[in-house]
Structure 1
Amino acid sequence: MDKQELGAFLRSRRERLRPQDAGLPAGPRRRTPGLRREEVAVLAHISTEYYIRLEQGRAPRPSGEVLAGIAGALRLTDAESDHLHVLAGTAPSRTGLHRRDVRPSILTLLDRLPQTAAFVTSATFEVLAWNDLAAALMEDFAGLSPRDRNLARRAFLASERPDAGLYGISDAAEFRHNVVTNLRSTLARYPSDPAVTGLVDELRDASREFARLWERHDVQAAPVLTKTFRHPVVGEITVDCDSLALTDRDQHLVLYSAPPGSPDAEALALLAVLGTEGVRASRSLSR
């Protein structure tokens, strides 16, 4: 049970609700945003004292029934409710280190998708494996260290690198929000993994934007269905986005594709022909 994180999460969810959201009268002007603690306690059918202690990080582990009541009172989504149980220690959680080894069958699959840019990310957004088209569309990951292949660092610390930016994607703000929400869930699953805790601490210290988003305690981002890349050689490419969870290793297989016969599919096909070496040469000629 992570008492301090649980308390902070409860406060953040309580403060975002309006009385009318919970079926309560608005009443006179409130000095603080959101519901009052005693209102949440009444809605959750628990004592106000116990709920206050939960928010203050002083209460013993709540039961599943109590958490269900609180989740209902705070109008939590399924993802937020799952996160609540993880923080309270009432849900199965992974221990030790997050995995970075990719299943051999997935590595084989990457090479069997020549018309789709495909890559695998870890629970901390490190690009672990990729095919040639992903390298041509984004960058030659083979030339980077594992640290520089981390998309979370690139999203928030890219200004420190000469090739700053997230590959010219159209949804950079949404991607950053997605990074934060996923890292918060990752930290709850791997609270003793130094790679996870170190990455979160690094980003909180070095990026005001990450720190601001982190304090929102969000654990669910809107799905991204399409994404536009502004590629330096072939111009804008709009792709369909699919992210498949590899649950046995807590990784994701990300797929970028385009409808057959579309100009975007033709642009991807050109990148597949050029490859990373061709893209690099074209960049040099255009300078």
Structure 2
Amino acid sequence: MRREEVAARAGISPDYYTRLEQGRPRVPTPGVLDALAHALLLGDAERAYLHTIAVPRRPRLAGAPEPLTPAARAMLDALTGTPAFVIGPRFDLLAWNRLGSALMAGLAERPPHQRNLLWQVFCCPHGAATPANREPDDSIGAQLVAALRAEHAGRPADPGLGRLVARLSAASPDFAALWDMHRAGGPGEGELRVAHPLLATDTLPFTLLTLPTPGHRLFVCLPPPGTPAPFDALAASAT
């Protein structure tokens, strides 16, 4: 839409909208931001992102990741039939169960920057060989980048998050292109495409669940409907 169309839909003047684009009003009101979100047809996550970047606030600096709680560790160990991981706010892989370790072999021995779900999707040899994970619409890669963008908005002074974005952008043109789309949102569920010799499928549904520890999520791969015992050979290799 043209600037005048957005302003008309939001019920503000084109001049005021131009000044908003230029950052000249210091703090637009929540009502104006909601009107702009409505005019631009933003979803709930994108609306929240707009409010985050538009209102000045004290930057949040991220320290060391919160430790894994005993309950989260017990939950991982109880998920014996499917790969599962606990991930942090930057999508670092903080912990995994036995099948998760088998699915992403050698995680414990890899450099810390490679123990990251974004790195696995965009930069590791298996991830880089699976373009479907990095499609601009409705892929796991697009979801994760939008979620990282939302996290980045609330942590503008977090050097670790900035370094992660720079590292991924340098290593993966696909990540850089998705990052430049400026989408923001939260990951939920979708499909992870895999090429693993011990899996009876090349598509794993996944879901992401929020854990009580701030910033922690549980990432669980699920057996595809109609695919009997997809993890049996993977489980046998992990014994």
How does the TM-score come out when normalised to structure 2? 0.85
- Give me the whole-angstrom Cα distance separating, in 2, the residues matched to 1:210 and 1:170: 11
- Give me the whole-angstrom Cα distance separating, in 2, the residues matched to 1:222 and 1:193: 21
State the partner residue of 1:273: 236
State the SS of the aligned residue for 2:218. Answer: strand
Q: CA deviation at 1:149?
A: 0.5
Where in structure 2 are the equivalents of 1:8-27 lying within 5 Å?
none
- Give me the whole-angstrom Cα distance separating, in 1, the residues matched to 2:17 and 2:142: 29
Where in structure 2 are the equivalents of 1:206-217 lying within 5 Å?
206-217=171-182
State the partner residue of 2:126: 165
State the partner residue of 1:136: 102
- Give me the whole-angstrom Cα distance separating, in 1, the residues matched to 2:209 and 2:187: 15
**One-letter amino acid of the structure 2 residue matched with residue 102 of structure 1:** L
Mapped contact 1:138–1:167 kept (Cα < 8 A): no
Gaps of 5+ in 1: 1-34, 159-163, 279-287
Mapped contact 1:170–1:229 kept (Cα < 8 A): no
Q: Deviations over 1:179-203 (max 9, x none)?
A: 2211111101211111101111222
| Structure 1 pair 227–154 and aligned structure 2 pair: CA distance change class (3 A) | closer
Percent identity of equivalent pairs:
34
- Give me the whole-angstrom Cα distance separating, in 2, the residues matched to 1:212 and 1:225: 20
How does the TM-score come out when normalised to structure 1? 0.72
State the partner residue of 2:48: 82
Mapped contact 1:168–1:231 kept (Cα < 8 A): no
Aligned residue among 83, 86, 104 for 1:120: 86
State the SS of the aligned residue for 1:109. Answer: helix
State the partner residue of 1:38: 4
- Give me the whole-angstrom Cα distance separating, in 1, the residues matched to 2:179 and 2:83: 30
Matched, 1:107 2:57: no
State the partner residue of 1:56: 22
Q: CA deviation at 1:62?
A: 0.5
- Give me the whole-angstrom Cα distance separating, in 2, the residues matched to 1:228 and 1:156: 12
Q: CA deviation at 1:128?
A: 0.5
Gaps of 5+ in 2: none
CA RMSD of aligned residues (A): 2.7
Task: Look at both structures and tell me which one has the larger radius of gyration over its CA atoms.
Answer: 1
- Give me the whole-angstrom Cα distance separating, in 2, the residues matched to 1:207 and 1:257: 27
State the SS of the aligned residue for 1:239. Answer: strand
**Alignment coverage as a number of residue pairs:** 234
- Give me the whole-angstrom Cα distance separating, in 1, the residues matched to 2:58 and 2:222: 33
State the partner residue of 1:232: 197
Q: CA deviation at 1:172?
A: 1.4
Q: CA deviation at 1:238?
A: 4.1
Q: CA deviation at 1:234?
A: 4.2
Mapped contact 2:209–2:217 kept (Cα < 8 A): yes
Aligned residue among 140, 159, 164 for 1:199: 164
| Structure 1 pair 181–79 and aligned structure 2 pair: CA distance change class (3 A) | same
- Give me the whole-angstrom Cα distance separating, in 2, the residues matched to 1:171 and 1:236: 15
- Give me the whole-angstrom Cα distance separating, in 2, the residues matched to 1:48 and 1:128: 48
Mapped contact 1:100–1:128 kept (Cα < 8 A): no
- Give me the whole-angstrom Cα distance separating, in 1, the residues matched to 2:46 and 2:212: 19
Which of structure 1's runs of 4+ aligned residues deviate more than 6 A?
none
